Amino acid sequence: MHTPPNKERSATHGCYVRLRAMILTGELPPGHKLKIEELRSLLDIGASPVREALSLLTSDLLVERMDQRGFRAAPVSKSNFEEILALRCMLEEKALRASLAVSDNDWEETLVLCHHRMKKAAQSDNSDCEDAHKAFHMALIANTNMPMLAHYCAQLYDLNIRYRNLAARGPHYRTRSVQNEHQDILDATLTGDADLAVRLLIDHYRNTGNYLSSQMDK
């Protein structure tokens, strides 16, 4: 019996979302060989959606296709992380400045709302915390009217949080006042001070980056 195309797309999307989450959180560790039959059994889904989802994840740079040997979760390295960090700083500076150049009330209201939701999620320590955190950072650069730039920034965010999740159990990870850093970035953005907002955002990323780099040295 032929499976309707919409059902096939839904199965592939569901598989993609689950595998992506497992890779980002480290449940499927870096370098782990991703065998179709094992994943099909684990996710209780057909082989075709698994294969298609893995192909999609190669475009996200979270999965690597090995010649004649299937797939594996993308490996990690200090040099890869440092490249991700450098690109984030470079692209998000451009995106934040572009957003501020055409600042309007709607964008500012969205920023305040996203920041509020992020604070509320962090205080509750619930499962929505990461989604709320990403929503705030993406809202900062959402006013650019450059969808390709926003897409690359979102992809780099995901690649970065994979490293953050892998290092999250290390000592002193939460000693920073990240909440205050977010508040300062928001305040500078709302006042229209592009230079200060960019400096605070880049410092925010580099503070995390310095910690993650130090963990990879151990």
> From CA 65, how far away is CA 138, in angstroms rounded?
29
Task: Assess whether 124 and 42 both reside in one domain.
Answer: no
Rounded Cα distance, 164 and 209, in Å = 9
pLDDT of residue 69: 79
Question: Domain boundary at 73, 94, 129, which?
Answer: 73
pLDDT at 7: 61
> For the segment 121-144, what is each residue's pLDDT rounded down to a tens digit?
988 766 688 899 999 999 999 999
Total count of domains within the chain: 2
Same domain? 63 vs 122: no
Cα Rg of the chain, angstroms: 19
Q: Are residues 169 and 104 in the same domain?
A: yes
If asked whether residues 111 and 178 sit together in one domain, one would say yes
Looking at the fold, whether 196 and 172 belong to one and the same domain comes out as yes
Contact between 132 and 117 (Cβ < 8 Å)? yes
Query: In the chain, how long is the greatest CA-to-CA distance?
Result: 61
CATH number of the domain where residue 24 is located: 1.10.10.10
* CATH code where residue 207 lies: 1.20.120.530
* Final residue before a domain boundary, out of 73, 105, 122: 73
Whether residue 127 sits in one domain with residue 68? no
Q: Which domain holds residue 211?
A: 78-216
Task: Specify whether 171 is located in the same domain as 103.
Answer: yes
Show which of 17, 49, 73 is a domain's final residue. Answer: 73
Question: 140-160: per-residue pLDDT in tens?
Answer: 999 998 999 999 999 999 999
Q: What is the pLDDT of residue 4?
A: 44
Nearest CA among 76, 106, 111 for reference residue 96: 111
Is pLDDT at 211 greater than 70 in this prediction? yes
Same domain, 121 and 206: yes
Q: What is the pLDDT of residues 6-37, one digit of tens each?
A: 666 788 999 999 999 999 999 999 999 999 99
Helix (H, G, I), strand (E, B) or coil at 128: coil
Query: Percent of the chain, pLDDT > 90?
Result: 75
pLDDT band at 167 (very low <50, low <70, confident <90, very high): confident
Angle, CA 84 vertex, CA 81 and CA 86 arms, to 5°? 110
| pLDDT (mean) for 164-178 | 69
Residues 103 and 170 in one domain: yes
- For the entire predicted model, the pTM comes to 0.86
**3 state DSSP class of 126:** coil
pLDDT digits (tens, 9 = 90+) for 186-201: 999 999 999 999 999 9
What single-letter amino acid sits at 183?
Answer: Q
Regarding beta strands 63-66 and 33-34, do their DSSP bridges make them parallel or antiparallel, or are they unpaired? unpaired
Confidence check: pLDDT of 171 > 70 = no
Angle, to 10 degrees, between the axis of helix 5-25 and the axis of helix 36-43?
100
